[in-house]
C-alpha cells in the first residue's frame, strides 16, 4: 500500500532546476573530502515529528491528520511504519530515530504497552530489511505520561524510577534488536521547577544510577553502540540538569559514565542555553564526546524550542565545519528533530521540509569543504597561537615555568604587542567560502 502516490522519488537536479520536489545541493554520491555526501551527512528521519506530530499547540488542535487511514491506535501505528518507510525511501534518507511511544500506543498497563511494541517491531524490522534503512538511535519517552510529571530517574517516587527503568530496558532491547548504533537520554522532566520542593543532589545521583544500570544492562546483552545525553537547559522544566554540553560532560565525568556516553547536540537546545550551535559542538569534540546531532533551528524572537527545519546556511556551514574538524560521524548522524510549521499542513509540505533541511546541510557540507581547502581560517588560528611554539611560550606549554619565572621574564622584558583578532575579516572569509561553495 502506498500513502503518497502523487510524490515520486526525490532526485538531485542541481541549482538550475525549478522542480520544488528535487534536491538542489544534496547529490548523495558526490565525493566531498574523500567521502560520499550521504556518508558525511547520515540523515535520519525523526519518527515523532514526522509520523506523529499533528500541529497541536497550547492554543489549538492538530492541523494535519496522521492516522494514515486507520481507525484505532494500533492500526494507525502499523500504517505509520509503511508510510514512514515510504517517506524515507522517496527522500533517500538512510536512517531513522524513535521513542518507544512513537511507534506503538501506550496500553493500560506496562505489559500491554510492551505487547503493543511487540506487534510493531517486527513490521519495522521487515521494512528495514526490505529497504536497507537503518536505525540511528532509539530512546524511551519517559516524559509525556502524567506519571513522569516530576521526572523519571529524578522522580521523588521510587515507583516511578522503577517504571522508567522498565521502560528503558524494553526500549534498549528494541534498539539492539533493530541494530541501532545509539541510545539517547533526553531528560525531558529531569530537572526542577522550584528548589523549594527539590533535593537536587539526590535527584542527580539517581539520574546517574539509572544511566549506570542502563549501561550495565546494555553491555550485558551485547550492545556495542554509544549512549548519548542530549543537553537542553529548560523546557519543559524551568531548569534541566542536562543544561548544556559543558554541564553534561562534568556530570558524566563525575559519575564515571564518560567512557560509555557521548553527546547528542541539538541546534535549538544550544540557542536556548545561550550558546551557538557550533559552540556546543566544539565543546563536545574538544572533550572527545562528539556523538550525534539533532538538526533543527529555533526562532530568536520566540525563544522556545520550535524545532523548525534548518534552513540557515550559516548555521549548517559552521555545523558541518565542526563535524569535519571532529573527524565526522562514527555511530552518530544528522537526525532531523524538526517539524513542519503548524500552517504547513500537507504531506507535500513534509517532503518539502526534508528537502529544505537536507539541501541546507548538503550546502553546509560544501561550505565546510571550501573552508578546509581555502585554509585561511585554520591558518589564522594556527598563527594566532604561534608564540607558544618557541621561547617562553614553549616553556609554558611544556610545564617548565613557575609563576616566579614569568615574573622575572616580564620584569626584564618589553610590553607585549596587541595583535588584531581580525573578526570582521574572518567573517568575510566565511562569506567568500559560502559563495564559492555554490560555484
Ligand atoms: C526535545 C527533544 C527530544 C529528544 C528525544 O526537545 O529534542 O525529541 O531529541 O527525546
Ligand atoms: Co532532540
- 228: Cα separation from own chain's centroid: 10
* Catalytic pick among 49, 99, 269, 275: 99
Query: Is residue 181 in contact with ligand 1, taking CB distance under 6 Å?
Result: no
- Burial label for 90, CB within 10 Å (0-12, 13-18, 19+), is middle
142 touches ligand 1 (CB under 6 Å):
no
User: Angle CA(341)–CA(346)–CA(348) in degrees, nearest 5?
Assistant: 105
Q: Are strands 182-185 and 290-295 parallel, antiparallel or unpaired?
A: unpaired
Q: Is 25 among the residues known to form the active site?
A: no
Alpha carbon nearest to ligand 1 atom 3, residue: 186
β-pairing, 290-295 vs 95-99, is unpaired
Q: Whose CA is nearest to atom 2 of ligand 1?
A: 186
Is the CB of residue 230 below 6 angstroms from any atom belonging to ligand 1? yes
Q: Which atom of ligand 1 is nearest to the CA of 305?
A: 6
CA-closest residue to ligand 1 atom 4: 186
Decide: 40 and 328 in contact? Cβ < 8 Å.
yes
Q: Could you tell me the distance, in angstroms and rounded to a whole number, from the CA of residue 245 to the centre of ligand 2?
A: 14
Spatial contact of 7 and 348, defined as CB atoms under 8 Å apart = yes
Give tens-digit pLDDT for 256-287: 999 999 999 999 999 999 999 999 999 999 99
The catalytic residue among 25, 27, 100, 102 is 102
| pLDDT tens digit at each of 439 positions of the chain | 799 999 999 999 999 999 999 999 999 999 999 999 999 999 999 999 999 999 999 999 999 999 999 999 999 999 999 999 999 999 999 999 999 999 999 999 999 999 999 999 999 999 999 999 999 999 999 999 999 999 999 999 999 999 999 999 999 999 999 999 999 999 999 999 999 999 999 999 999 999 999 999 999 999 999 999 999 999 999 999 999 999 999 999 999 999 999 999 999 999 999 999 999 999 999 999 999 999 999 998 998 999 999 999 999 999 999 999 999 999 999 999 999 999 999 999 999 999 999 999 999 999 999 999 999 999 999 999 999 999 999 999 999 999 999 999 999 899 999 999 999 999 999 999 999 999 8
Separation of alpha carbons 173 and 171, rounded Å? 5
**1 CA to middle of ligand 1, Å?**
30
pTM of the full predicted structure? 0.97
Q: Whose alpha carbon is nearest atom 5 of ligand 1?
A: 186
Superfamily of domain 28-374: Divalent-metal-dependent TIM barrel enzymes (3.20.20.150)
Active-site residue flag, 118: no
Rounded Cα distance, 50 and 351, in Å: 10
Comparing CA positions, the residue from 350, 381, 304 lying closest to residue 86 is 350
Instruction: Give, using CA atoms, the residue closest to atom 10 of ligand 1.
Output: 186
Residue 198, classed as helix, strand or coil, is: coil
CA of 386 to the centre of ligand 1 (A): 41
Is the CB of 139 inside a 6 Å radius of any atom of ligand 1? Answer: yes
CA of 338 to the centre of ligand 1 (A): 10
**Domain limits, the chain:** 28-374, 377-437
Residue whose entry in the numeric block shows the C-alpha cell 500500500: 1
CB-ligand 1 contact for 184 (6 Å cutoff): yes
| Residue found by looking up cell 571550501 in the block | 370
Å from CA of 230 to ligand 2 middle: 7
Please state, as a whole number, how many other Cβ atoms lie within 10 Å of the Cβ of residue 85.
21
User: What CA–CA distance (Å, rounded) separates 436 from 434?
Assistant: 6
SS3 3: coil
Amino acid at each position: 500500500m502506498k500513502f503518497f502516490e502523487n510524490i515520486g522519488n526525490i532526485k538531485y537536479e542541481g541549482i538550475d532546476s525549478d522542480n520544488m520536489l528535487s534536491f538542489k545541493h544534496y547529490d548523495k554520491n558526490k565525493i566531498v573530502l574523500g567521502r560520499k555526501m550521504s556518508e558525511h551527512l547520515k540523515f535520519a528521519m525523526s519518527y515523532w515529528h514526522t509520523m506523529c506530530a499533528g500541529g497541536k499547540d497550547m492554543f489549538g488542535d492538530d492541523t494535519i491528520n496522521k492516522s494514515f487511514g486507520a481507525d484505532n491506535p494500533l492500526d494507525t501505528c502499523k500504517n505509520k511504519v509503511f508510510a514512514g518507510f515510504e517517506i524515507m525511501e522517496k527522500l533517500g534518507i538512510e536512517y531513522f530515530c524513535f521513542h518507544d511511544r512513537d511507534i506503538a500506543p501506550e496500553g493500560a498497563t506496562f505489559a500491554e504497552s510492551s505487547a503493543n511494541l511487540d506487534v510493531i517491531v517486527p513490521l519495522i524490522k521487515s521494512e528495514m530489511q526490505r529497504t536497507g534503512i537503518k536505525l540511528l538511535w532509539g530512546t524511551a519517552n519517559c516524559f509525556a505520561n502524567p506519571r513522569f510529571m516530576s521526572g523519571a530517574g529524578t522522580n521523588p517516587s521510587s515507583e516511578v524510577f522503577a517504571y522508567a527503568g522498565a521502560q528503558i530496558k524494553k526500549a534498549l532491547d528494541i534498539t539492539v534488536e533493530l541494530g541501532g548504533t545509539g541510545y539517547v537520554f533526553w531528560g525531558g522532566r529531569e530537572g526542577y521547577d522550584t528548589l523549594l520542593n527539590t533535593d537536587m543532589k539526590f535527584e542527580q545521583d539517581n539520574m546517574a544510577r539509572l544511566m549506570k544500570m542502563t549501561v550495565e544492562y546494555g553491555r550485558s546483552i551485547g550492545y556495542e553502540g554509544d549512549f548519548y545525553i542530549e543537553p537542553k537547559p529548560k523546557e519543559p522544566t524551568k531548569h534541566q540538569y542536562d543544561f548544556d554540553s559543558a554541564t553534561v560532560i562534568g556530570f558524566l565525568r563525575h559519575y564515571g559514565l564518560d567512557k560509555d556516553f557521548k553527546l547528542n547536540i541539538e541546534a535549538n537546545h544550544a540557542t536556548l542555553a545561550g550558546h551557538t550551535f557550533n559552540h556546543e559542538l566544539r565543546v563536545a569534540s574538544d572533550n572527545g564526546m562528539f556523538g550525534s546531532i539533532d538538526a533543527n533551528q529555533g526562532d530568536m524572537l520566540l525563544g522556545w524550542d520550535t524545532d523548525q527545519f534548518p534552513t540557515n546556511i550559516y548555521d549548517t556551514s559552521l555545523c558541518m565545519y565542526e563535524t569535519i574538524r571532529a573527524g565526522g560521524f562514527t555511530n552518530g548522524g544528522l537526525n532531523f528533530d524538526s517539524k513542519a510549521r503548524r500552517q504547513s499542513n500537507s504531506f507535500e509540505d513534509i517532503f518539502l521540509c526534508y528537502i529544505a533541511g537536507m539541501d541546507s546541510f548538503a550546502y553546509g557540507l560544501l561550505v565546510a569543504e571550501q573552508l578546509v581547502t581555502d585554509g585561511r581560517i585554520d591558518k589564522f588560528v594556527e598563527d594566532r597561537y604561534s608564540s607558544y611554539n618557541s621561547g617562553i611560550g614553549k616553556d609554558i606549554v611544556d610545564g617548565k615555568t613557575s609563576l616566579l619565572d614569568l615574573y622575572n621574564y616580564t620584569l626584564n622584558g618589553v610590553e607585549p604587542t596587541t595583535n588584531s583578532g581580525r573578526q570582521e575579516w574572518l567573517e568575510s572569509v566565511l562569506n567568500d567560502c559560502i559563495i564559492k561553495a555554490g560555484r
